[in-house]
Amino acid sequence: MTMHRLRRVLIAALIAAGALGSSVVAVQANTLDSVLAVGKSKNAAARKSQEKIDRLAEETRDLLSDYKTVTKQVDGLKVYNERLQKQIDNQLARIKVIEGNIDNSTVVARQMTPLVIRMIDGLEQFVELDVPFRKEERLQRIAFLRNNLDRTDVSVAEKFRAVLEAYNIELQYGRGIDTYKGTIDLDGAPREVDFLQVGRIALVYQTTDGALTGAWDSDAGNWVELPSGDYNAAIRKGIRIAKKQATIELLSMPVAAPEAN
């Protein structure tokens, strides 16, 4: 009887021990799953963190590259701005000079007009006293200069330039040989003649038929007829030379003798 009871107690103890072990195993299994789940969660969070770190690092590299590019551009702009500022300073200085010239040009313009008038008057007086070659053409040039004086569309500088050009033309007249056709009163009747101008030392004429030859007498202020046998051939040769129909050579021309001082 006693043995039978002990056996039942042992059986009960064994059953209780088995139930307890099963409970422990179940608890351990649940704990392991929790640990694994937490580890998995941490790994996922770590991956996300690493991805974020990688993305931030890439963005940082891009920003650094952009910064270096912008820095180079800024340096280039600084150099450009310095150069541009020098140009602006030079232009401002030139503007001041131009403004000063404009102020001075107003004064000069007021002084130039009387000068131009005096130069035209002097040129007209010179033509009137000079040997009368191409006189009508020269007086027309002077009339043109006078008409320019009252024109508002022509600047003072242009008026002055035109007067200088007229003076230069007059200067060239005294340095060459020229021939042209014209008319002259001979014995009260107009005759067509060939004029030959040798600088300002001689102005002669010859009728187209070669019958009459004459020269301008500056002292008398009129035309004088020349002996037909003395100068006819020379004047005819001089006309051909002026027309570039003959080679240049020495000619016998009626030239007034210089006056003694």
Each residue's pLDDT tens digit, 92-103: 888 888 777 766
What's the CA gap between 229 and 243, in Å, rounded?
23
Nearest to 177 by CA among 77, 248, 92: 248
Mean local confidence (pLDDT), 204-210: 87
* Both structure tokens of 182: 């014209």
* Percent with pLDDT over 90 in the chain: 21
Of the two residues 198 and 42, the one the predictor is more confident about is 198
| Sheet architecture: strand order including 213-217 | 177-186, 189-198, 202-207, 213-217, 222-225
Nearest to 195 by CA among 165, 235, 158, 249: 235
pLDDT of 161: 93
| Three-class DSSP category at 224 | strand
Whether the Cβ atoms of residue 217 and residue 226 lie closer than 8 Å to each other? no
Nearest to 198 by CA among 250, 233, 246: 250
* Both structure tokens of 199: 């600088």
Q: Give the model's confidence band at 247: pLDDT under 50 very low, under 70 low, under 90 confident, else very high.
A: confident
